[in-house]
A and B are shown apart, each in its own frame.
Chain A
Amino acid sequence: MKPGYFSLVLHAHLPYVRHEEKHRLEERWVYEAISETYIPILWQVDRLQKPLHWTVSISPPVVEMLADPLVQDRYVEHLDEMLELIDIELAEGRSEPEVDALHFYRQRYLDLKNTFLHWEKNLNHAFRTYREQGFIDMITCTATHGFNPHLYTDQAARAEIRTGLNCFERHYGFRPTGIWLPECAYTPGVDRILYEEGVRYTFVDEHALLDADPTPDKGIGAPVYSPHGVALFPRDQIISGKIWSSMIGYPGHPDYREFYRDLAYDRDWEYIQAFMHPEGIRFDTGLKMHRITGDTDEKDFYVRAWAEHQIDNHALDFAQTLEGHLEAHGGQMFPPFLVTAPFDAELFGHWWFEGPEFLGKVAERLEEFGIETITPALFLERHFQDLETVHVSMNTWGRKGYGDVWINERNEWMLRHLHMMETQLVKDVADYRHKSPLVDRALIQLVRHYVLAVSSDWAFILDGQTTAQYAAERFREHTRLFAELETALYQDKLSDELLADHYRAYPFLDDVDIDIDTFLSPHDFYVTEERGQVDEAILVLTPEFTGNVVGDLGRRVIDEVEARAAEGETVYVLTPFKEGLPEYERHNHVHVYRVRLTSPFLEHVMNQVAAQNVAYVKLVHELGSKVVFKAIHQFDWMTITAARSLAKALQVPLYSTMLSFETTRNPHGHGGLFDAIHRIESSILAEADTVFICEQLSTEEVGMRYPIGDNVKTCLPLDASPYGQKRLKKNTK
């Protein structure tokens, strides 16, 4: 054996395109992948009958579709149709090269059918059997290929990961320690979740390591650990490029089959119609009769023997190239040099028709050359102590290496809705989990709708604009179903029938695959399960409070709050943040939030006050999801606007205490700020249910400077609750 290793990883993925209705064009994606990639790869494994150390990643949508009787039966029908078309073609008296190609296809489709039926129409059984025989290793992907760097929450990423592993385990009988990150998209933090979910390795593009911090000593010649201990295996672009690039790689050779020329487009509509879509849409049959030929539109017919000859040549060339590459790095020890070559499986067979045979031949040549092929799992077993730990920033294997494909002007409109679904799921799970078996099933179904919506395929397709309408419709449909089911949950309108309908639309994943607790946060668990009942609270907004008392106002607020608390009221006090004091503290029924301005360095008073009020309003929105405020009591002019806006939004009585006014503090004041404060003060006098003014001020005095009504009162003694006064009046409205 030569020093160094080669690792081949094939990732099989399609979006979940199973539709109950017949003749959806998208289901042909599955047939093509089975006929051109999955079965041909299985043929190679079967032919070689020995441990190949290939790693095959199969995504949950593919697993589920392969296991689906509807898809299975339709695939057999599809094969029969293809055989029928080939027989008709053969009866047409085509030219000799065409007849040769047709005979090749006829045998091939018969073989496909035999293989498919041999595995009782479920190719998961084939992959599972070969894995259990030790011929290949298998891993999986996240539930629906969601693009991790653009998810919002730990929970969504975790649900994608855990659900994917659960689904795979149900079909394959074991839980892999490796996973394929959709689009090889890494983002700091996803490694933490992967590690917590039992995943020990994944794959990234080579610039992930080349630009890692610190720069790894071995470059891309060895995997690294992410900060949370997940091994990242880098794609070697030089070696991979030989294979995937149609420009510099093997697949563009003139003797290989031409992908873009299909028999469907070479025949009259009248003739081919019976094999096309009933609505008159022409699509690829899969009978591609030509070879690439060269840089010309005049394509010659496919000659299978020539293609096979090239496969041999290219397999040999690849083995030699790899040998040279490994020899050039032969000095690397601890660990030895590793070339990782991860690919989309569909590249082999679907895009590059001869790809699966090439892989089989490469396996044979590498053995002859003494080059060891190794799985990442085995590599880690041998060399886990030899890897460096580095920081890897966000990156993908997509166009330009980052997120350009998955967020751009064509698909950005989806993101805010996806994030909304994530946060709604977190809230719904906190609020509803284990309320009843039916409710739990509804939560599971909501997760199912979400994961179907978050598939990276929709953004990818919208980026490419090929079947954009389908992708946009699918996204909208899953979002709509989410919205409708969530509404039924809120309105207590769940039923077995409703859930069955929702499931039937896209019967993806078993309920046992989805763990609703992936969405639960410990804090929400505390709030909903342990904290106790909902508060009905008084909301106090004040510029001064404990730790920040400047004058009479602060003392008055503290005294009033204490008096109300002593009467058993729950009081939430919102007051400005002050350095050195806690942002939150609680004394029995009094919750004090010291709120940071939205910006600490504002120069102008009115802007500081605005920033403070905005911060109050935002905080109350957050609190209002759990705390019921029954009244708002604001102190001083500086909290008036938040109090008014919140009283309106929450529809609760508004109380005000004004110990002084701008005009009493500053009787000869004038100017813009003076006028603005005066106007704000006037607004509370007009809008508050009751305004309490300082004992030293008379209503007449205030009335001389402001328009006042009978809602203006002198402050009550501390032992008298101000909130009892208005309740009857308010209630009769």
Chain B
Amino acid sequence: MEEKIVSLKQQGLTLKQIAEQLDMPIGKVQYAWRKWRSQHGEPAKPVAAPKRKTEGKKAMTSNLKQVPASSVKQVASTLQHEDPIQSPLLDKGPEGFWKLPDRYDQDLMHAVVQSPNAVYVFWEVSDSVKETLSMQFMRPWEDLPKAFRILDITLLDYASGHANRSYTFELPEMTNSWFVRPLDPNTTYVFEFGIRTMEGEFLPLLASSPIDTPRAEPAGHGRFAEPVRRWQYGEVESPELLDTLPKYSAYRFVR
């Protein structure tokens, strides 16, 4: 049974789906998966786990003149440059065939709308963040209780830290996606994944971008009417409306 679970997990199924498929309680599936992972080295990294760090850099530096090795530079860069680079989507299962990677060792959280009352969220926490936290709290990552927070930030700025209301709930260990429901239509939400600290405080690690749930009834003259008018008549330089397809930059923090 354990082999079956591991094989399904490596095919990209969630623990929940595996539990459904095998008609087992999710707890048993979780236990088997964790046991397998702990026996096969923790965390269960894909074979030749992609080192995100080096990909872009190699791409650039391979075309640049090699900087003369002055003392410190040499120290720093040798290892970073020797890593074999490959697509993060390249991964192999135990039988040696390609499979969908289990994870990409990134910190991200994406949310997409399912309906006016439901949003699908998936996320991933990098090894470095996990390690930082376990150093900070002197406990292994697996032992830190995981939690999920729903923030209603309609007409607010998430960065201000304020929310109209929030709701936090515990998540099972090893969860990396959730259908969040029930939600309210026509509401701006941010979702956060984090841990519950010893003091019971929710410590967010990841947050989604703000997302609007669709309206499910006539709006009359609703909260969008004025922003639309201001944009339509050129009273603002950019629309005060959420754009669900923003331009992405791979090097957005590199200035």
Chain A residues engaging chain B, CB cutoff 8 angstroms: 148-157, 187-190, 192-193, 210-215, 227-228, 389-391, 393-395, 400-404, 407-409, 412-413, 415-417, 419-424, 426-428, 430-432, 435, 476, 479-480, 482-484, 486-487, 490-492, 521-524, 527-528, 531, 533-534, 536, 584, 586, 591, 593, 596, 598-604, 606-607, 609-611, 613-614, 617-619, 621-631, 640-642, 644-646, 648-653, 676, 679-680, 683, 723-724, 726-727, 730-731
- The 19 sampled A-B contact pairs (Cβ below 8 Å) are A155-B247, A187-B244, A227-B239, A389-B232, A403-B113, A412-B122, A426-B249, A431-B250, A484-B98, A524-B249, A527-B251, A586-B255, A598-B205, A606-B136, A625-B55, A626-B251, A630-B73, A680-B135, A726-B75
Known: A424-B88, A630-B73, A652-B76. A152 touches B248 (CB 8 A): yes
Q: Could you tell me the distance in whole angstroms from the C-beta of A438 to the nearest C-beta in chain B? A: 14
- Which listed residue (A193, A227, A421, A534) contacts B57, Cβ 8 A? A534
- How long is the Cα–Cα vector from A723 to B73 in the complex, in angstroms? 10
6 extra interface residue pairs, beta carbon distance < 8 Å, beyond A213-B215, A623-B254: A403-B113, A407-B120, A413-B14, A415-B122, A420-B88, A430-B250
**Given the contacts A188-B244, A214-B222, A227 and B87 also touching, CB distance less than 8 Å:** no
Q: How far is the CB of B169 from chain A (nearest CB, A)?
A: 17
User: In the bound complex, how far is the Cα of B112 from the Cα of A486, in angstroms?
Assistant: 27
Task: Report the bound CA distance from A239 to B227 in whole Å.
Answer: 33
B88 and A213 form a contact (CB under 8 A): no
Q: Contact: B129 with A617, CB < 8 Å?
A: yes
| B199 interface contact, C-beta 8 A | yes
**B113-152 Cβ-contact flags toward A at 8 Å (1 or 0):** 1111000101010111101110111100000000000000
Known: A486-B87, A607-B201, A621-B53. A151 touches B245 (CB 8 A): yes
Which stretch of B25-33, B34-42, B102-110 is in the interface?
A: B102-110
Given contacts A528-B251, A610-B203, contact A650 B53 (CB under 8 A): yes
Task: Name A215's contact: one of B160, B213, B220 (CB within 8 Å).
Answer: B220
Please pick, from B114, B160, B212, B227, the residue contacting A403 in the complex, using a CB distance under 8 A: B114
Q: Would you call B214 and A395 a contact (CB within 8 A)?
A: yes
Q: What band does the interface of chain B fall in when counting residues whose beta carbon is under 8 Å from A? A: 35 or more
Give chain B interface residues in 77-108, CB to chain A under 8 Å.
77, 79-80, 84-91, 98, 100-101, 104, 106-107
B115 touches A622 (CB 8 A): no
Check if B53 sits within 8 Å of A400, measured CB to CB. Answer: no
Given contacts A157-B245, A431-B60, contact A210 B218 (CB under 8 A): yes
Q: Which residues of A contact B224 (CB under 8 A)?
A: 213-214, 390-391
Distance (Å) between the CB of A488 and the closest chain B CB? 9
Smallest beta-carbon distance A616→chain B, Å = 8
Q: Which of B59, B64, B216 contacts A211 (CB 8 A)?
A: B216
* Contact of A423 with B250 in the complex, beta carbons under 8 Å: yes
Give the Cβ gap from B57 to chain A, nearest Cβ, in Å: 6
Most buried by A among B62, B205, B231, B254: B254
Cβ contact within 8 Å between A154 and B129: no
In the complex the two chains form, what is the Cα distance from A304 to B129 in whole Å? Answer: 70
A-B pairs, 6 with minimum CB distance = A630-B76, A391-B224, A189-B243, A486-B87, A427-B250, A483-B89
* B126, A521: Cβ atoms closer than 8 Å: no
Is B217 close to A, CB under 8 A? yes
Interchain CB contact (< 8 A) of B122 among A390, A416, A482, A534: A416
Closest to A604 in B: B199
Contact of B80 among A408, A598, A628 (CB under 8 A): A628
- Tell me the minimal C-beta distance from B42 to chain A in angstroms: 15
Q: Check: B6 CB closer than 8 A to any chain A CB.
A: no
Bound CA–CA A601/B231 (angstroms): 34
Within B207-238, which residues are at the interface with A (CB < 8 Å)? Answer: 207, 212-225, 227-229, 231-232
> How many whole Å from B10's CB to the nearest CB in chain A?
12
| Assembled-state Cα–Cα distance A97/B92 (Å) | 59
- Are the C-beta atoms of B60 and A626 separated by less than 8 Å? yes
Could you say which residues of chain B place their CB within 8 Å of the CB of A395? 214
Greatest chain B CB density within 10 A among A431, A486, A646 is at A431
Does the CB pair B72–A211 fall under 8 Å? no
- Cβ of B104: which chain A residues have Cβ within 8 Å of it? 416, 420
Q: How far is the CA of A714 from the CA of B16 in the complex (A)?
A: 55
Q: Are B203 and A611 neighbours in the complex by a CB distance under 8 Å?
A: yes
In the complex, the answer to whether B244 meets A189 with C-beta atoms within 8 Å is: yes
Q: Which residues of B contact A726 (CB under 8 A)?
A: 75
Q: Are B89 and A421 in contact (CB under 8 A)?
A: yes
Name the one of B76, B138, B186 contacting A393, with C-beta atoms under 8 angstroms.
Answer: B186
User: Across the interface, do A214 and B77 meet the contact criterion of CB distance under 8 Å?
Assistant: no
B219 and A215 contacting across the interface, CB-CB below 8 Å? yes
User: Given the complex, which residues of A lie within 8 Å of B126, measured CB to CB?
Assistant: 617-618, 621
Minimum distance in angstroms from A445 CB to a CB of chain B: 13
What B residues does A651 contact at CB under 8 A? 79-80
Residues of chain B with a CB closer than 8 A to A611's CB: 203-204
Contact B87 A211 (CB under 8 A): no
Residues of chain B with a CB closer than 8 A to A536's CB: 67, 73, 76-77
Chain B residues near A591 (CB-CB < 8 A): 255
Whether B203 and A213, one on each chain, are in contact in the complex, defined by CB atoms closer than 8 angstroms, is no
Interface check B182, CB cutoff 8 A:
no
Interface status of B183 (Cβ within 8 A of chain A): no
Chain A residue with Cβ nearest B161: A600
Nearest CB in chain A to that of B124: its residue: A416
Partner of B204, one of A190, A422, A598: A598
Chain B's nearest CB lies how many Å from the CB of A471? 14
Q: Is the CB of B13 within 8 A of A413?
A: yes
**Is B252 located at the chain interface by the 8 A CB criterion?**
yes
Query: How many Å from the CB of A217 to the closest CB on chain B?
Result: 12
In the complex, the answer to whether B250 meets A213 with C-beta atoms within 8 Å is no
B197 touches A649 (CB 8 A): no
A621 to B106, CA, bound (A): 8
Contact A424 B89 (CB under 8 A): yes
Question: When the two chains form the complex, which single residue of B17, B115, B245 contacts A402, counting CB atoms closer than 8 Å?
Answer: B115
Minimum CB–CB distance from B56 to chain A (whole Å) comes to 4
Choose one: B86, B159, B242, B248; the contact of A154 (CB below 8 Å).
B248
Cβ of B172 within 8 Å of any chain A Cβ, yes or no, is no
Cβ A420 vs Cβ B89 within 8 A: yes
Q: Bound state CA distance, A243 and B62, in angstroms? A: 61
Bound-complex Cα distance A584 to B114 (A): 36
Question: A487, B90: Cβ atoms under 8 Å?
Answer: yes
Chain A contacts of B100 at CB under 8 A?
413, 417, 476, 479
A416 to chain B, nearest CB (A): 5
- Complex contact B199–A154 (CB within 8 A): no
A617 touching B128 in the complex, CB below 8 Å, given contacts A430-B251, A431-B56: yes
Determine the residue in chain B with the shortest Cβ distance to A219.
B218
Most chain B CB within a 10 A radius of its CB, from A155, A192, A415, A527: A527
Closest residue of chain A to B65, judged by CB?
A: A533
Residues of B within 8 A of A523 (CB): 249, 251-252
Residue in B76, B106, B132, B253 whose CB lies within 8 Å of A614: B132
Write the chain B residue with the least CB distance to A408: B114
For B186, list chain A residues within 8 Å (CB): 393
CB distance from A384 to the nearest CB of B (A): 14
Q: Are A153 and B231 in contact (CB under 8 A)?
A: no
By the criterion CB–CB under 8 Å, are A723 and B60 in contact? no
| Cβ B129 vs Cβ A479 within 8 A | no
